[in-house]
Structure 1
Amino acid sequence: MKIALLQMTGVLDPVANAATVADAVAHAGRGGATMLFTPEMSNLIDRDRNRSASKIVAEHEDPVLQAVGRAAYEYGVWVHLGSLAVRRPDGRFANRSILIDDRGIIRARYDKLHMFDADVGPGNRWQESSAFAAGDRAVVAATPAGQLGMTICYDLRFPALYQALGEAGAELLAVPAAFTRATGEAHWESLIRARAIENGCFVIAAAQTGDHEDGRLTYGRSLVVDPWGDVLLDMGVGPRVDFVVLDEGAVASARARIPAMTHRRAIPPVERVGA
């Protein structure tokens, strides 16, 4: 199964981002890919909440979603829109993954569960929960490439979510991201390989990269890791579309070699001894 990943340097203009993503769908289709995976915040990357508020619209009004729906139909490609910033009916924002089929129809949605509220160094303080509402459900969706567990960026640090997705039948785990350079250099590959190995799944991690107009610096290095933990694709730091072929027997093979998922037990209460 051939898939494609988009690594991009998102800008402040959703219309410009829509053109970038639609072009990636066309590139994926012409290259023979069945699916394209895009990064977190494919429609708008802007840490200035006041400036971005007027550009974040309801899902059905989003220019990236509209452009991708048309392109998916035209080129016959499924698209996992890593995430879009969308306005909810209550006025708050959601960081939402959307799965679109090759007819341009939405098949699944997932709102990011874990909000990135962290201080990782000078100029790197984040408070995602100040504007975005967390989701309330985990999602596994059927795709031509296999059962897809949908997650977003900071979710990567919470292995219980991935365990639940694997136990619900996920064979692929999507981790669209906009990792900071500091956290990416320290943790990105290690976390992705761990989630793949723990669950015997492919991990597909399309990422933002480069120096963005809002001043943030993202890490890039979009990765595809197989269920044994081997890196099949490392896209480095340049924005582009790239391809990889997934071995459809790899999940079953990895899980047969080390059947850890069948050995999992409920964790008993922790006994604390001493001070």
Structure 2
Amino acid sequence: MSKVGLIQMTSGPDPEVNLLFIEQQLQQMQSQPQHKADWVVLPENAIVFGSKQDYHQHAEPLGSGPLQTRLAQLAQQFQLYLLVGSFPVRCEQGVKTTSLLLSPQGELIADYDKLHMFDVDVDDGHKRYRESDTFVAGNRVVVANTDLANIGISICYDLRFPALFQQLRSQGADVITVPAAFTYVTGEAHWESLLRARAIETQCWVVAVGQVGTHPCGRQTWGHSMVIDPWGRVVGSLSETAGFITVTIDPKINQTIRAQMPIAQHARFDSILKA
């Protein structure tokens, strides 16, 4: 078993302010024996939440730069795995929005570039979202094998694409992380329903950590971070304020549910497609 911490944030464009909040939350979490976590998940855009200019200004090459060094130091200081929900990573094609998984030694052990860009129209104050104007989409499915669990990684809008989650399960995921910045409108309508569906159909734990509230750029996000077990039960959640929770994850629940209902063995689509 392991204990995961979820830090729900109202991030803005200043990395220093966001990093200070993360450090304060980690300090509170790790100083209380009942909350002390083995790993912690931050939301999407945890370090920078703003405009295209903000993301591109603070983007760093993968694995180097002062912001990533600070994050590695936090993982090392508090002796935990730290999953940074998304971070602007500079590449040859532009900037990617990337989940970073850091070990308790501060080493980068996995990275995942968001596959699906949020290019949609929403009936809120922002109206038009075109993430592809800011970021380059990724092209890899990533499962990080750690001594805690096999962690499948997704980011926000990925949640609406169940084929990705099936791939994460087929590649050995026991837990799937969903760092997010769901809009208030789409979050209220679909957030919990989608998360519970992904947990049920993959028979994985789902750890979903959101941005929350009104951000300096004017965007409103839903929050309601939660952990869902492989049977689809919400076992811990936050509401609409910044803060943290910790939840114990028991891999035996995966094993029991998968043995009782072996849907991975029952699936017939591959054989049909090959026929």
When normalised by structure 2's length, the TM-score is: 0.92
Taking the aligned partners of 1:37 and 1:266, their CA distance within structure 2 comes to 33
Residue 83 of structure 1 is matched in structure 2 by 86
Distance 1:101 1:27 in 2: 20
On the 8 A contact 2:5/2:39 being kept in 1, the answer is yes
Q: Classify the secondary structure of the residue corresponding to 2:201.
A: helix
1:118-129 correspondence to structure 2 within 5 Å? 118-122=120-124, 123-129=126-132
Which of 261, 265, 274 is the equivalent residue of 1:262? 265
Is 2:160 the partner of 1:177? no
Cross-structure match for 2:193: 190
State whether structure 2 residue 252 is matched by structure 1 residue 249.
Answer: yes
Counterpart residue number, 1:238: 241
1:45 paired to 2:49: yes
Kept in 2, the 8 Å contact 1:29–1:76? The answer is: no
SS in 2 for 1:170: coil
Letter in 1 for 2:112: Y
Task: State the Cα deviation string for residues 62-86 of structure 1 (Å, max 9, x = none).
Answer: 52x2222112112211111111122
Structure 2 Cα separation of the partners of residues 124 and 255 of structure 1: 42
Pair 1:21 & 2:46 matched: no
> Which letter does structure 1 place at the counterpart of 2:141?
A
Residue in structure 1 matching 2:109, options 100, 107, 110 = 107
Within 2, Cα distance between the matches of 1:106 and 1:22? 19
| CA deviations over 1:212-232 (Å, ceiling 9, x no partner) | 000000000001000000001
- Residue of structure 2 in register with 1:167 after alignment: 170
CA distance in 1, matches of 2:176, 2:156: 12
Aligned-partner Cα distance in 2 for 1:71–1:42:
14
What CA deviation, in whole Å up to 9, does each residue of 1:50-70 have, x standing for no partner? Answer: 35432333342252x222211
Contact 1:22 1:67 in 2 (8 A): no
Runs of 4+ in 1 over 6 A off after TM superposition: none
SS in 1 for 2:179: coil
- Map Cα deviations across residues 170-195 of structure 1 (whole Å, 9 max, x no partner): 00000000000000011000000000
- TM-score scaled to structure 1, two decimals? 0.92
Instruction: Judge which range, 52-61 or 138-147, deviates more.
Output: 52-61
For the pair 1:117 / 2:123, whether they are aligned, the reply is no
For structure 1, the residue ranges without an aligned partner over 5 or more in a row are 270-275
Equivalent residue, structure 2, for 1:273: none
Deviates more, 1:139-148 or 1:51-60: 51-60
Percent identity reads: 38
Cross-structure match for 2:4: 3
1:7·1:38 contact (CA, 8 Å) conserved in 2?
Answer: yes
Which of 213-222 and 9-18 deviates more?
A: 9-18
